Amino acid sequence: MSTSKNRVVILGAGYAGIFLATNIARYVTEKVGEVVLIDRNPYHQLLQEIHLVAADFRTANEVQIPILKLIDRTDIKFIQSAVKQIMPDKNMVALESTEINYDLLIVCLGASTKYFNIKGATENTLPLRSVPDASLICDKMRALMKSNKKHDIVIVGGGATGVSLGGALSDFVKESKKSDILTITIIEALPTILSGWDERLVKKVNEVLLEKEIRIRTNSAVTRVENDGDASCSIYLSDSGSKIHSSLAIWTAGVKGYDIQISPEVEKTKDGRIILNEFCQIGSYPNIFSIGDIAAVKDENGKLYPPLAQIAVREAKYLSKLIPKHVIITDRADLSSLPLNEKFEYNIKVQLISLGNDDYVGLFNNHVISGNLAKLVEEFSMSAYIKTLESGGRDIKNTSLYGDNIFSQLVSGIAFARFTFIKWLEKA
């Protein structure tokens, strides 16, 4: 596939890619080029809700939005295909069936599960990184519920994904009236779950999980996982060599950058994230940018931004301003001499964690929130995010997945009050 126009190619239609594509499309096509978006799936996955699919509170269709629906009012060209290789020296990307050239490339392929080379972990546990992963966990849960025997469900990893999954599965078990036979344990190698999160929020999350009768074992690293031959496994732990027998083990202990082949190789962190400069750009290839979970960008203190949807969206918002300004307006630009001077910077102001079907705990403007307020903030943010996507980027000012201006929006109150009123009407 070749073209005489300037072509911007975006790999991945997750939070980073879809948001970037819908927001730059009109600038690019109005000026000098075209935008091509590539994903192996025909849908955008709302990954931060997939634990609710695993627990049967959402259907798969509710958390995947067809990409064509999101881009139908734009001139974006969508190709459904798996990306196999990036060849920066040739400005070319190899897809499953063809090759495509680019003038500007943005890599947004997300993350994958990291198993730390722990023996038996890949083979004997399930990951939770996609809607099909979540549907499989849900099927296994239903089968355990039907068996009417006692079963231990073990979640390895007490980060945000593990904790959210634990909360949701506990609600599923309770609603199915199976609490007497199904127990849920979260295993965490570090001294606390949600390591690195605000201490007050962690305390509140611990309380909620305790109420949900979830067992939490901290300071407990998994050393190996063995198949017990009856669709169950034994999880061996570092503390006093103990083990847990589990009928369903889910691995949420680690995340690494999606392993895409780039030849010649570019520098990556030990977690496989592409090392970028403060403009989200590969230093040695100025016409390649990367954002989202696969991207390793440092904040002002030299710490990597965490792999979070809200960071992916902020990075996309940043690039959606930078690209039209510096690249698109310059036909066949000499990309190596772009006058980039506005670095990516973002301070996380809102932290929210889902702990079940209807439970959220968060830190909002430095206050711990829970209950209905936390739930409303989550629903409001998500609905604003989807509205922005569906507007084809025209509604960018209102974007919010815990965005820059969510606090001022909430304080100004109008959008939030309207949203709350509609929710109340729906319930009434």
Ligand X SMILES: Cc1cc2nc3c(=O)[nH]c(=O)nc-3n(C[C@H](O)[C@H](O)[C@H](O)COP(=O)(O)OP(=O)(O)OC[C@H]3O[C@@H](n4cnc5c(N)ncnc54)[C@H](O)[C@@H]3O)c2cc1C
* Residue from 8, 9, 10, 13 in contact with ligand X (CB under 6 A): 13
- Please state the closest distance from residue 284 (CB atom) to ligand X, in A: 22
Establish if 16 lies at the interface with ligand X (CB under 6 A).
yes
**In the sheet that 233-237 helps form, which strands lie side by side, from edge to edge?**
222-227, 233-237, 243-246
- Answer yes or no whether residue 50 interacts with ligand X by CB under 6 A: yes
Q: Cα–Cα distances in Å, from 126 out to 86, 233, 252, 428?
A: 29, 12, 9, 40
What mask, x for binding ligand X by CB under 6 A, covers residues 181 to 210? ------------------------------
Q: Which of 10, 100, 153, 309 binds ligand X (CB under 6 A)?
A: 309
Residue 48 lies near ligand X (rule: CB under 6 A): yes
Under the binding rule (CB under 6 A), the answer on residue 307 touching ligand X is: yes
Place of tokens 């969510």: 406
Site string for ligand X, 67-106 (x = CB under 6 A): ---------------xx-----------------------
Side chain identity at residue 278, one-letter code = E
> Kindly report the CA angle at 392 between 29 and 336, in degrees rounded to 5?
45
Using CB under 6 A as the binding rule, whether residue 274 contacts ligand X is answered as: no
Minimum distance from residue 247 beta carbon to ligand X (Å) = 21
Q: What is the C-alpha to C-alpha distance for residues 291 and 87, in angstroms, rounded to an integer?
A: 18
Is residue 108 part of the contact set for ligand X (CB under 6 A)? Answer: yes
Question: Does 377 engage in binding with ligand X (CB under 6 A)?
Answer: no
Tell me the C-alpha distance between 22 and 15, whole Å: 11
Helix (H) or strand (E) holding 39: strand 33-39
The stretch among 178-186, 204-212, 217-225, 302-310 that binds ligand X (CB under 6 A) is 302-310
Q: How far is the CB of 229 from ligand X (least distance, A)?
A: 29
User: Which of 107, 156, 308, 384 is close enough to bind ligand X by CB under 6 A?
Assistant: 308
The interface with ligand X within residues 116-155 (CB under 6 A) comprises 128-129
Q: Which is nearer to ligand X, 108 or 225 (CB)?
A: 108
Minimal distance, residue 45 CB to ligand X, in Å: 6
Give which of 116, 126, 113, 112 is closest to 233, Cα–Cα. 126
> Given the DSSP bridges, would you call strands 295-296 and 274-275 parallel, antiparallel or unpaired?
parallel
Least Å from the CB of residue 16 to ligand X: 3
Candidate segments 35-43, 330-338, 360-368, 382-390, binder of ligand X by CB under 6 A: 35-43
The single residue among 6, 8, 9, 12 that binds ligand X, judged by CB under 6 A, is: 12
Q: Which of 168, 158, 218 is nearest to 194 (CA)?
A: 158
Whether 68 contacts 243, CB under 8 Å: no
Residues 214-273 that bind ligand X (CB under 6 A): 258
- CA 193 from centroid of its chain's CA atoms: 19
Shortest spacing between CB 50 and ligand X, in angstroms: 5
Question: Is there binding between residue 40 and ligand X (CB under 6 A)?
Answer: yes
List CB contacts of 354: < 8 A, sequence separation 6 or more. Answer: 48, 49, 51, 52, 164, 167, 168, 360, 378
Q: Residue 205 phi/psi, 5° resolution?
A: -65, -45
φ, ψ dihedrals at 16, nearest 5°: -70, -50
Q: How many helices (H) and strands (E) does the chain have?
A: 11, 27
Classified as helix, coil or strand, 345 is: coil
Binding stretches for ligand X (CB under 6 A): 12-17, 38-41, 45, 47-48, 50-51, 82-83, 108-110, 128-129, 160-161, 164, 258, 292-293, 307-310, 312
